[in-house]
Amino acid sequence: LIVAHDGATIELSNGCVCCSIGGSLALALRDLMTSPNPPDAVLIEASGVAEPARVASYGNREVLAEPTIITVVDPFSIERMLSDPIYGGLAAAQVRQADVIHISRTDLVSDSNQVAFDRGCRSVERLRANPHESAAQTGGVPPTVDITVRHRDQVVTIDDVVGELAQTRGLLRAKGIVGTPLGPMLVQWAGGSVEVTPAGGTPQTGLVVICAADQAMSSP
């Protein structure tokens, strides 16, 4: 089943996730999460003809948290896809089953295609009901959209850091080096648990915190 493993990527040997892998994917996910060094998260990039809810159902809920389905919509082609007699139902299901919908190619919008862009977005009913827009440049999103930087000069205790992380709503992941009275400490938070180890040397301190997008800005 697993034909290659470089520590970050696993290649499966028996077909694409969208249709042919089935139970083999479930077994691979189980083995991955019960291995001596399980990952903090699993990202599955399905093909354009996949049913995301079906792929998400392969995970064993005893070893994997409830999945988040992200669907990327091309606003310049979605209207045509939804009306396609063969693939329209699948395109609608991909949008309907999504927990998060990302609109791609927003950096390509101009005066000449603004009408087509708006029409494509309006063709997705869920976007009409709950729109949220942030313009993106090619290959990135402006840092001010979803990144908040806070700076503190003072030395803090690990108890202070852990206590503040515990109060951060929507916390998904935190990692960095914190200056403490005992020296620099490497702090890693994932899955509701924290690990603290000496960092050694005199590294630059800083803590990166990743939160759910709708809750990050309201955290204490």
Which pTM was predicted?
Answer: 0.50
**pLDDT reported for residue 138:** 56
What's the gap between Cα 24 and its chain centre? 23
Distance of alpha carbon 1 from alpha carbon 10, whole angstroms: 10
| Cβ proximity of 98 and 69 under 8 Å | yes
10-residue block means of pLDDT along the chain (220 residues)?
Answer: 48 51 68 79 77 76 74 83 85 84 78 80 65 52 49 78 84 82 85 80 77 51
**pLDDT reported for residue 63:** 67
**pLDDT reported for residue 9:** 56
Task: Give residue limits of the domains in the chain.
Answer: 2-141, 148-218
DSSP annotation of 99 reads S
**pLDDT reported for residue 2:** 40
Q: CB-based burial of residue 170 (10 Å sphere; 0-12 exposed, 13-18 middle, 19+ buried)?
A: middle
**pLDDT reported for residue 61:** 62
**pLDDT reported for residue 151:** 58
Cα dihedral 45, 40, 105, 93 in deg (nearest 10): 50
Which residues have C-beta within 8 Å of that of residue 159, sequence separation ≥ 6? none
